[in-house]
Amino acid sequence: MGTVASRARRWPLALSFLGLVALGACADEVVAPRNPSALAPRAAALAGEWVSVTVTNTSGGTEVGSLRWAAAQVAAGGGGGSIWIDAKIAGDTIALDAELKLANTVYIYGSADDGITISGKDQHRVISSTGELLTLSGIS
């Protein structure tokens, strides 16, 4: 019986040790910073230039100032980037003509007050990403 008791005493220590390891692993998770430009030096060093672009219209096409145009600018930089939705179009809807495909780390920020809606017109998927990270804020 003494052997069984000593094994039983080891379990709480083993579980505590495993719990600490699990908590340590959680602390290493990537969390999007409040200021995505803080990633710019790291992104530039690893994969190219960090690009920050502002969307100024609700066009679903490729016109300058559209969401698709902004995504193309980020892709051309090669290092990822941030896409900011101009407060002038906050509360509106961007109706995309086709699926928006992203291949880099991308942050898309809508207005904190009214946000913005991105629609696929019930025809297709709205956004797909093969990049390391895609963060949407203020988007519905």
What pLDDT, in 10s, does the model give residues 66-115? 999 999 999 998 889 999 999 999 999 999 989 999 999 999 999 888 88
CA dist., res. 46 & res. 105, Å (int): 12
Q: What is the pLDDT of residues 45-64, one digit of tens each?
A: 355 789 999 999 999 889 99
Do 94 and 115 reside in the same domain of the chain? Answer: yes
How many structural domains does the chain have? 2
Do 72 and 8 reside in the same domain of the chain? Answer: no
Tell me the whole-structure pTM to 2 decimals.
0.65
Which residues constitute the domain of residue 37? 31-137
Do 23 and 44 reside in the same domain of the chain? Answer: no
Contacts of 80 (CB under 8 A, 6+ apart): 39, 43, 47, 50, 51, 74, 104, 105, 106, 131, 132, 133
The pLDDT value given to residue 46 = 52
Do 106 and 95 reside in the same domain of the chain? Answer: yes
Do 42 and 101 reside in the same domain of the chain? Answer: yes
Do 57 and 90 reside in the same domain of the chain? Answer: yes
